Amino acid sequence: MEMVGEERENQYETSHYKSSLISDPWKPCRRTRAVVKECLLKLSCCLGAVCGMHWYGYAALGIVMAFISFFMDLSVTKLLRAHQWLYVNLEGNNVLQFFCWTLYPACLCAVGSLFSQNISPFSTGSGIPEVRTMLVGIQMSHYLSLTNMFTKFLGLICTLAAGSTVFLGKVGPFVHLSTMVGEYLSNLCSLVQNTKKVKPQVIQKDKAAKEMMVVSAAVGVAGCFGAPISGVLFSVEVMCSHFAVKHYGPCFLAAACGALTFCLFTVWSGDEETLQPLFKTNFPAALPFYPLEILLFASLGLLCGAVSCCYLFCHRWMLQFTKTKEVFIKMLTTEKCLYSGLVVFLLASVTFPHSAGQYMASQYTMKQLLTSLLDSSSWSSHIHNTSVPLEPDTLSEWNSSGRPVYLSLVFFLFMKMWMLVLACTLPVPAGYFMPVFVYGAVLGRLHGELAAYLFSGGGMSFNPGGYALAGAAAFSGAVTHTMSPALLAIELTGQFAHALPVLLSTLLANAVSRSGQRPSFYDAISISKKLPHLPSMKKVYPQLPLVEIGQFLGSKQIQLQKTAGLEEIQHVVNSSSDTQYPVVDTHESQIFLGFVHRSELLIFLSGCETETVEKHLDDICCIHPSSVLLSPHSTVQETYRLLSLAGEHTLFVTDRGRLVGTITWTEMKRIFEAFTSET
Amino acid sequence: MEMVGEERENQYETSHYKSSLISDPWKPCRRTRAVVKECLLKLSCCLGAVCGMHWYGYAALGIVMAFISFFMDLSVTKLLRAHQWLYVNLEGNNVLQFFCWTLYPACLCAVGSLFSQNISPFSTGSGIPEVRTMLVGIQMSHYLSLTNMFTKFLGLICTLAAGSTVFLGKVGPFVHLSTMVGEYLSNLCSLVQNTKKVKPQVIQKDKAAKEMMVVSAAVGVAGCFGAPISGVLFSVEVMCSHFAVKHYGPCFLAAACGALTFCLFTVWSGDEETLQPLFKTNFPAALPFYPLEILLFASLGLLCGAVSCCYLFCHRWMLQFTKTKEVFIKMLTTEKCLYSGLVVFLLASVTFPHSAGQYMASQYTMKQLLTSLLDSSSWSSHIHNTSVPLEPDTLSEWNSSGRPVYLSLVFFLFMKMWMLVLACTLPVPAGYFMPVFVYGAVLGRLHGELAAYLFSGGGMSFNPGGYALAGAAAFSGAVTHTMSPALLAIELTGQFAHALPVLLSTLLANAVSRSGQRPSFYDAISISKKLPHLPSMKKVYPQLPLVEIGQFLGSKQIQLQKTAGLEEIQHVVNSSSDTQYPVVDTHESQIFLGFVHRSELLIFLSGCETETVEKHLDDICCIHPSSVLLSPHSTVQETYRLLSLAGEHTLFVTDRGRLVGTITWTEMKRIFEAFTSET
């Protein structure tokens, strides 16, 4: 039914555009433009006959993001190779090698933060906390601007090219980039489909934008790793309270398009022979693990949960520290470039392969690190059993100096903990998921190697790679308080045999890290940035959701009475730019009747100058009834949920029929601020 | 914070129970009972200290359902083996073999429907349409009764033991069984945790029951196949409009527990050496498919979508037919047992291996069918290339008479189409998912074999098993309008390499079958059973969601005025059994103030006989403000969503502050009936 209606609208549009364009006298190349436009409109009619334009938008989003992802990977690989080439060619001269090792990433990150500081300060960080807030329904248009997109894109390439020294990832900014691209595609789709009616268009456009944003979250993950299903799960998890089931199909479509395109690009570039997972593993298929190993996986989950609590505590402390120390505040506001350069120089000095770096496999890129950790054969057995030939590729960096690999792994874990916390303060676009994923893999590998050392014998052969996989999923899941990393780990490696142990570890790690209402990694950033995201704020102010909104309603408010004349309307329109104004019976009775749209009033005001007769509000425009009303006793939680679910901009609060207030997202933010300043 | 509160409540409960039990004089074995109860309460305190009792409930649900699933599989296997043994031992006597082949399943199904007819008529069919309706929030307690559970369990064993003759599955009833077990566990948990306060307890219990039902849907799928992640996706999809993100963790926990237990049972029973997927395949890992095969998978998706439309049309026609033909109505209401026997006898006669059955691999069980179809080597190459040895196990039944396998596959598809539609009318507990899954696998296999025949050569080796996998997912996804079969297919086979093609096929099949707002398989049953499930009804009455509720509000309604005395309260309590009554200022002004709980009024009424002073309503109990109000202009869609999301039993409709109506689920059902009878 919907589609037939859309089709009819499209046809109407075609003829309308054509005639208006030809009659427009001042445009250049009118004839050519008209022909091109006509062809495009015919094409859009044909496309629209198959399914709604927005479906093409979702598919296009997936394809565009996969292309961006592939292009970014390609550039980063080239930049990393250049660094490596330079470093290898300086072999023999330690001083020059040191400067090459440290200055290259330091300069890249300095350039990245220079972009951020001078072009768009909203591009720093991961972007996921902001995306979560926007998904609730709150408008943050500066986070979706075109400049921000380019800054984030270039900055992210710089950060990734700095390599495993800085140890930052790509997922978070990619989700943010995806929402920005989605916003533009959504605007494009509604431009193609737009109708003449004023009111439905605004609401329709908002709903389409919201849907596109949910889809973008899925595409961000899917396009980044070629992992469609965990992308969809991520977009379910990232929602504030409820996931609309109607977004489920679009998410799957866009994620599948994204993942498919990403994999096809890999095939076409000659890296792979066919569509393969990003980190394909070759675990033994016949007996992937013994049933009793389930207990070891469970203990790994608990361990990851405990370590994640420690990591999150350090991260929160660091966030607090940078906000209270005068020198940090000054550096992070005015001297971002210098700060980035200094911090990255410090990190790079520590990881220099001729100093401490040799004990923590610092020559590996993030991808090589993960591949080496997911290797299925036990490293300790190589050392014990000299008859088995060493695999130089996977082991060389982890025991380059002949030490036991356990020590390398422990040293890596210890050093990377503080280095990662420090790196999180860098004012550059950067993802924080991949580092914790790799960190978890190291934790899992250590657990697996120890288990292999302790329990192997009697014909049992352990696979520490499986533990690395479970550890990666469990630790990253615990840090972000999500379950989708479990599926992501499986999709990244194509290793389905380990699905149950990985899921179990992730569940237990989540249970430990969520206990006691601790904030997740993204919650901590949300709180630190004071974003109006209720689920995060709840962690700090547990009473906030139960507060009644009545006590925060302002005394004076803008309203129109039913019999309002031209002057009153003019006054109201001038004094406020809300999209909807409440209408009451009379200013004395305050009985709430409904609302009028600002756009309708503006149309009336622009047209009424020619008219002389004095008219009342109820003659000139439709008073829309409000289908849902709040009472002053509604709690913040209920109001927040209604605003985010109903997709309405404005909710009206009445008490016994009398209007007592208006709730919008702006009002909601004011309530949060009032509450937090009170307590 | 929550947990600390719960703990404190638990401790309070322990002491309270203990004292009340000892002081109760008429109970036998008081001392022993008290000791046992004390131990149990201490245990529950200890457990409660780790996490809330409901978490144990979710884990227990998963474990119980996995146990039931395993036990059911075991019984069914024994019954199927008995049938096979009898049939093989009668070799040589075709008449006796015919009776053995036909009467065994006919008797089983007759017994199954006898149970349904005489014990609980609500146990027939799949149960998923009813579960979907209950998930919205509508109470259907007869579908969750203990008798229904046992009837469904026994009936399902009978249906499954009838084997591939009847060609029915287990998933749907299993999801229904899971909700019933979940209901009991939820009651148990709230019994352990119950508090003294009347109102919060009712609401808390309802919320817990709703949460448990969402979890049950996930566990149903997870426990049935050992597939946790598709279980969670299924529970997202089965929701009416919005999936609450807070249910996500519980779903994962319960599904993981269910799948883990199911797999461990398989290991302990000696069927598998370790935790493996149910239908483990051995597709070639190095090159699972060529990149260009993506196009073939896409065309398979479109084909599956088209065939699913045909199947759904036949199914809807059959539903209509059985509802209009006098003889069917009579048989299906009074002679269920006879009807089942006759239909199954007919189906079994057709599949008799010495008649038409030999052309459709009828000797295979459902599991063997699926295993044979998922075989990775091409059947047609065996026939063409005689140098490759035949694998007798997988091929024997499909070309037992030496015909090309294509003919067998086409004949299977043609016959099973009407047989399946006929089998769906059987009044026995039965799942309709697995049959369409296998049907899709046959469709995919045919497509794959044809592709292998046409395109192989030049060193390319096709894997038709991959097409069978994609076909199964695509066809079952298209029939049920869901995406989770894509993941289920992967989890069932552990074949992650085919994830993207399977997802693509399922997406395209869904697109075709959902086009034109066609109802899905479950929608058709919902509509036929007149269940108050809006998303299904929308497909038949597209105007229904947009109707304003104002026109359906009854003129007279039950209300209390603020100054109501004892008599008025008594009268209202006697005349209606609603849980909440609206309170107005006076009967004349009708200004809405709030609502009172029936339970509070009852407490007052039972206590007030001793009091002599006349009291008013506002003196004796708290008038709760209603946080959300509807207007008469609210649409059916909005009202439905608010009722299902808010978890409230009752919503009040006001117009300019005056009460004009009350909306409950009962009222909502009345509106649906009024609308459908009007149009």
- Per-residue confidence at B555, pLDDT binned at 50, 70, 90? low
- Select the more confidently predicted residue: B553 or A80: A80
Nearest 10 degrees: Cα torsion B407, B412, B418, B421: -150
Spatial separation of the C-alpha atoms in residues B322 and B310, rounded to whole Å: 18
pLDDT of residue B291: 85
Nearest 10 degrees: Cα torsion A104, A108, A113, A115: 150
Residues of chain A neighbouring B252 (CB-CB closer than 8 A): 483, 503, 507
The first and second tokens of residue A76, run together, are 């980063």
The first and second tokens of residue B595, run together, are 């609502």
Among B275, B296, B641, B643, most A C-beta atoms within 10 A, so best to mutate, is B275
**A256, A517, A638 ranked by CB distance to B504: nearest:** A256
Asked if the Cβ–Cβ distance from A274 to B291 is below 8 Å, we say yes
C-alpha triplet B4, B6, B10: angle, nearest 5°: 115
The first and second tokens of residue A360, run together, are 């923590």
* Residues B79 and B157 sit within 8 Å (Cβ to Cβ): yes
E strand or H helix that includes residue A73? helix A53-89
Q: A106 to each of A166, A419, B6, how far by Cα in Å?
A: 9, 15, 52
Spatial separation of the C-alpha atoms in residues B312 and B421, rounded to whole Å: 9
**Given the structure tokens 């930052």, which residue do they identify?**
A168
* Residues A8 and A2 sit within 8 Å (Cβ to Cβ): no
* Residues A344 and A105 sit within 8 Å (Cβ to Cβ): yes
* Residues B362 and B164 sit within 8 Å (Cβ to Cβ): yes
Spatial separation of the C-alpha atoms in residues A640 and A618, rounded to whole Å: 31
Q: Which of B377, B407, B371, B400 is nearest to B389 (CA)?
A: B377
Residue B47 at interface with chain A, using a CB cutoff of 8 Å: no
As a whole number, mean pLDDT of residues A380-407 equals 62
Residue A645: closest CA among chain B residues belongs to which residue? Answer: B242
pLDDT of residue B350: 92
Question: β-strand A560-561 against A580-584: which pairing, if any?
Answer: parallel
The first and second tokens of residue A571, run together, are 């006054």
Tens digits of residue pLDDT in A478-533: 999 999 999 999 999 888 888 999 999 999 999 999 988 899 999 999 999 999 99
Asked if the Cβ–Cβ distance from A243 to B241 is below 8 Å, we say no
Question: β-strand B560-561 against A560-561: which pairing, if any?
Answer: unpaired
* Residues B644 and B210 sit within 8 Å (Cβ to Cβ): no
- Decide: residue A200, CB within 10 A, 0-12 exposed, 13-18 middle, 19+ buried: exposed
Non-local CB neighbours of A162 within 8 Å, separated by 6+ positions: A104, A105, A108, A109, A168, A344
As a whole number, mean pLDDT of residues B82-110 equals 93
Spatial separation of the C-alpha atoms in residues A287 and A282, rounded to whole Å: 12
**Given the structure tokens 């697996």, which residue do they identify?**
A448
Residue A628: closest CA among chain B residues belongs to which residue? Answer: B630
Among A215, A627, A648, most B C-beta atoms within 10 A, so best to mutate, is A627
Backbone phi and psi for residue A99, each to the nearest 5 degrees, phi listed first: -65, -40
Q: Identify which of A237-246, A455-464, B260-269 has the greatest average pLDDT.
A: B260-269
Scanning A478-497 for CB atoms below 8 A from B yields 483, 486-487, 490-491, 494-497
- Per-residue confidence at B8, pLDDT binned at 50, 70, 90? very low
pLDDT of residue A140: 86
Residue type present at position A68: I
Spatial separation of the C-alpha atoms in residues A36 and A24, rounded to whole Å: 16
pLDDT of residue B608: 66
The first and second tokens of residue B646, run together, are 């808010």
Q: Which of B643, B650, B369 is nearest to B532 (CA)?
A: B643
Q: Which of A428, A343, A423 is nearest to A125 (CA)?
A: A428
Among A503, A591, A630, most B C-beta atoms within 10 A, so best to mutate, is A503
**Mean pLDDT lowest among A345-359, A405-419, B10-24, B482-496:** B10-24
Spatial separation of the C-alpha atoms in residues A544 and A538, rounded to whole Å: 6
Residues of chain B neighbouring A656 (CB-CB closer than 8 A): 585, 591-593, 657
Residue A254: closest CA among chain B residues belongs to which residue? Answer: B507
As a whole number, mean pLDDT of residues B630-653 equals 84
Q: Which of A34, A2, A17 is nearest to A192 (CA)?
A: A17
Q: A391 to each of A144, A396, A412, A541, how far by Cα in Å?
A: 48, 8, 21, 54
What length is written for chain B? 679
Non-local CB neighbours of A355 within 8 Å, separated by 6+ positions: A349
pLDDT at B15 over 60: no
Asked if the Cβ–Cβ distance from A275 to B294 is below 8 Å, we say yes
pLDDT at B11 over 50: no
As a whole number, mean pLDDT of residues B103-131 equals 92
* Residues B586 and B634 sit within 8 Å (Cβ to Cβ): no
The first and second tokens of residue B389, run together, are 């040895």
The first and second tokens of residue A264, run together, are 């096809």
Scanning B226-265 for CB atoms below 8 A from A yields 228-229, 232-233, 236-237, 239-246, 248-249, 252-253, 256, 259-260, 263-264
* Residues A281 and A493 sit within 8 Å (Cβ to Cβ): yes
**Mean pLDDT lowest among A130-134, A453-457, A669-673, B302-306:** A453-457
**Mean pLDDT lowest among A278-287, A368-377, B28-37:** A278-287
Residue type present at position A588: E
Spatial separation of the C-alpha atoms in residues A208 and B81, rounded to whole Å: 56
Spatial separation of the C-alpha atoms in residues A73 and A43, rounded to whole Å: 34
As a whole number, mean pLDDT of residues A234-241 equals 86
Instruction: Give one DSSP letter per residue of B403-425, joined into a string.
Output: --HHHHHHHHHHHHHHHHHHHTT
pLDDT at B612 over 90: no
pLDDT at A627 over 60: yes
The first and second tokens of residue B107, run together, are 């008797």
Q: Which of B522, B590, B487, B532 is nearest to B259 (CA)?
A: B487
As a whole number, mean pLDDT of residues B362-366 equals 88
DSSP bridge partners of B661: B653
Asked if the Cβ–Cβ distance from A243 to B243 is below 8 Å, we say yes
The first and second tokens of residue B253, run together, are 């926990």
Question: β-strand A580-584 against A592-597: which pairing, if any?
Answer: antiparallel
* Residues B278 and B489 sit within 8 Å (Cβ to Cβ): no
Scanning A636-675 for CB atoms below 8 A from B yields 638, 641-642, 645-646, 654, 656-658
Scanning B174-233 for CB atoms below 8 A from A yields 228-229, 232-233
Residues of chain B neighbouring A290 (CB-CB closer than 8 A): 274
* Residues A62 and A261 sit within 8 Å (Cβ to Cβ): yes
Spatial separation of the C-alpha atoms in residues B539 and B528, rounded to whole Å: 12
pLDDT of residue A381: 60
**Mean pLDDT lowest among A200-209, A242-251, A361-370:** A200-209
Q: What is the DSSP letter of A679?
A: -
E strand or H helix that includes residue B658? strand B658-663
The first and second tokens of residue B318, run together, are 């059959």
- How many CB atoms lie under 10 A from the CB of residue B141? 9
Asked if the Cβ–Cβ distance from B628 to A630 is below 8 Å, we say yes
Helix B464-480 to helix B293-324 angle (10° resolution) is: 40
Tens digits of residue pLDDT in B276-293: 777 777 777 777 888 888
Q: Which of B219, B246, B245, B213 is nearest to B232 (CA)?
A: B219
pLDDT of residue B393: 52
**B503, B657, B658 ranked by CB distance to A256: nearest:** B503
Non-local CB neighbours of B230 within 8 Å, separated by 6+ positions: B221, B222, B484, B485, B487, B488, B491
Tens digits of residue pLDDT in B309-359: 999 999 999 999 999 989 888 888 888 999 999 999 999 999 998 888 888
Residue type present at position A123: S
Chain mean position to CA B589:
48
pLDDT at A619 over 80: no
Q: What is the DSSP letter of A23?
A: H
- Per-residue confidence at A193, pLDDT binned at 50, 70, 90? confident
Q: What is the DSSP letter of A459?
A: T
Residue type present at position A107: C
Asked if the Cβ–Cβ distance from A491 to B511 is below 8 Å, we say no
- Per-residue confidence at A14, pLDDT binned at 50, 70, 90? very low
As a whole number, mean pLDDT of residues B187-208 equals 66
* Residues B500 and A260 sit within 8 Å (Cβ to Cβ): yes
State the pTM of this model: 0.90
